[in-house]
Amino acid sequence: MKNPDRETISQLVELPNIGKTMAIALRSIGIDHPKKLIGKDPLELFEALCERRGERSDPCVIDVFMSIIHFMEGGESLPWWSFTHQRKEKMGRKNR
């Protein structure tokens, strides 16, 4: 897959690291367009998703959210695991 163009994508599944299941999850918390990710806090999205599902999601979902927000805010398209270390540093041991 070629690198997506953040200026022209209109579907969540066009984002790096997002498949059909994660696109459904994002829509369930009110994110129905990639541009709606700009300015969002990945932890707040994660908490909203956990609340919506009624269960705690894997903390790696935060990494995915970090990756797509980073991308939509002008950053490079990176694999979600590139953000794991940053999440762990930011959040401490509780989400390792």
- Give yes or no for residue 27 having a pLDDT over 90: yes
Phi and psi based region of residue 75 (left: phi greater than 0; alpha: psi -120 to 50; beta: remaining): beta
Q: What is the CA radius of gyration of the chain?
A: 13
Q: What does the pLDDT read at residue 67?
A: 98
pTM comes to 0.90
Q: What does the pLDDT read at residue 91?
A: 82
DSSP 26-56: HHHTT--SGGGGTT--HHHHHHHHHHHHTSP
How much of the chain, in percent, has pLDDT values that exceed 90?
A: 84
